[in-house]
Amino acid sequence: MKNLRLKAARAAKDLSQEELAKRCGVSRQTISAIEKGDYNPTINLCIAICKALDKTLDELFWQE
């Protein structure tokens, strides 16, 4: 399932996938894969992404 909330949060911060990837210490392809729903990140990476985007885990990754 696509993670549109992550994409929206990144766009709101005016960050490219490359910039977000650098802040989280992963490759751009990994961020792209998470946004497309092709890869389930570990909790550590989820936290790094949340910190980089000033969001909580619930806001970005919780699914109802």
Partner 1 sequence: MNDYLWGITLGAFLVLVLAFIGYYVIAKKCGDVKYDERQRAGRGKAFQAGFFTLLISGAIVSILNYMDVLPGSDFVWQMAALVVGIAVFALTAIHFDAYVGMTDTPKRFIIMGSFFTAAMILSAIGNFLADEKDNHDIGFINLILAVIWMLIVVALLIHNRKKTEDEE
Contacts with partner 1, residue ranges (CB under 8 A)? 16-17, 25-27, 29-30, 32-33, 39, 41-42, 44-45
Distance (Å, rounded) from C-alpha 52 to C-alpha 46? 10
In angstroms, give the least distance from the CB of 33 to partner 1: 6
Nearer to partner 1, 43 or 64 (CB): 43
Rg (CA), the chain: 10
Residue 37 has what DSSP assignment? T
Give the torsion sign (CA, 8, 31, 17, 58).
positive
In angstroms, give the least distance from the CB of 18 to partner 1: 8
In angstroms, give the least distance from the CB of 24 to partner 1: 9
